[in-house]
Amino acid sequence: MGKKNLMNSYTKFNVNFEKGIGTRVYDSEGKEYLDFIAGLAVNCLGHCHPAIVKALDEQSKKLIHVSNLYWTSPQIELAEKLVALSDHDTVFFCNSGSEANEAAIKIARKYGKLTGDMEKYEIITMENSFHGRTLGALAIMGQKKYKKDFMPLMEGVKSVKFNDIGDLKEKVSEKTCGVIIEPMQGRCIKIAHIEFLMEAKKLCEEYNALLIFDEVQCGIGRTGDLFAYKSFGVIPDVVCLAKGLGGGFPIGAVLANEKSSIFKPGDHGSTFGGNPLGCAVSLAVLKELTENKVLEGVKKKEAIFKEGIEKLAAKYNFIKKIGGKGLILGLHLNINNNMVIIRAFEKGLLLIGAGNNVIKIAPPLNITEDEINKGLKILEEVFQEL
């Protein structure tokens, strides 16, 4: 299926999905799957949510694209909404998480030139971080296996051990223009310590650098708050968003406070960024999350998941722990996760790995308690067979 014509950039499951409703997807044979991946933490409202379908239908009949040379109401309304819900002042729209992080890199580099000199260009990143696969994003990524075939990459990047305050203090200097952190590392489901984030904020203020949070995966309600930084009580200068922002429609955004709102015409751009169709969908997603109280149930559902996994851990000694926050959780195992994921797939449950020994659980935020329990039951059936 498609092997002759698609570049071999993904290892795909042998399935062809044709439709999805809520937390369920259906393949070409009509088999039903319970989705605990949500399109890689993208489908925050599940598949084909009525609010998204309605926004697509209505906006597609009005205006789809005109470029950023002109104002459009959906873009203005979405920017106003994001600013009102956050602690930031301006928004740059793009199409993906990688693009959002690329824009943040440029903001930090320009900020360094404006506030320092040509030597203020270093960006501090974290070990095991993941910020995307473009060349700029690769340069600030903390995982060598993704970088080795594309060297040399952008210079001026220093890596810090995640949650190591001493290492952070040693690396930040007058040359630092930005520090980029995932409040929760999506590739290994590791949570930042609040003390570490507070120290990063303090150091950025001391050395006049920008604190950037990559919330591409952990933002838009995943932690139980609309923005992940609100779950940690540390406000960054710049926030990078994508994935859940469009609930399945491609859109990314960079939120900036007043001091980091430094782009001028010509500094950066995105042909499709902030197009009316994407902005209309994102507005519908944000309204559903905040006004229809989807966010209010996330922490309760986290507790249901964790309680269920802890019961399984008492039965199966290869389960180490359940980590994570909200509805981006990591099931840490003493065994390779591949067989668990494959067997769960065969039984109709979609899971994904985070490294070799962690199973990531990131279902739609509006998943029901019954659906959580059904997924945990399938998971136990898999564990019984190992």
Tokens read off for 306: 């964790």
What phi-psi label fits residue 335: left (phi over 0), alpha (psi between -120 and 50 degrees) or beta? beta
pLDDT reported for residue 187: 86
Angle separating helix axes 369-385 and 298-315, nearest 10 degrees: 20
CATH of domain 51-291: 3.40.640.10
pLDDT reported for residue 355: 85
What does the alpha-carbon distance between residue 94 and residue 103 come to, in Å, rounded to a whole number?
Answer: 9
For the cut 90, the answer to whether the pLDDT of residue 2 exceeds it is no
pLDDT reported for residue 153: 96
Partners of residue 20 on adjacent β-strands: 25
pLDDT tens, residue by residue, 92-102? 999 999 999 99
pLDDT tens, residue by residue, 42-85? 999 999 999 999 999 999 999 999 999 999 999 999 999 999 99
pLDDT reported for residue 117: 82
**How much is the mean pLDDT over the chain?**
96
What residue segments make up the domains of the chain, in order of their start? 17-49+294-385, 51-291
Partners of residue 79 on adjacent β-strands: none
Is 51-291 the same fold as 17-49+294-385?
Answer: no
For the cut 80, the answer to whether the pLDDT of residue 155 exceeds it is yes
What does the alpha-carbon distance between residue 370 and residue 298 come to, in Å, rounded to a whole number?
Answer: 14
pLDDT tens, residue by residue, 120-145? 999 999 999 999 999 999 999 999 99
Q: What share of the chain is helix, strand, coil (3-state, %, to 5)?
A: 40, 20, 40
pLDDT reported for residue 1: 60
CA trace torsion 129, 133, 137, 140 (10° rounding) = 40
Does the 17-49+294-385 domain belong in CATH 3.30.1600.10?
A: no
Longest alpha-carbon distance in the chain? 62
Strand pairing category for 352-353 and 328-333: unpaired
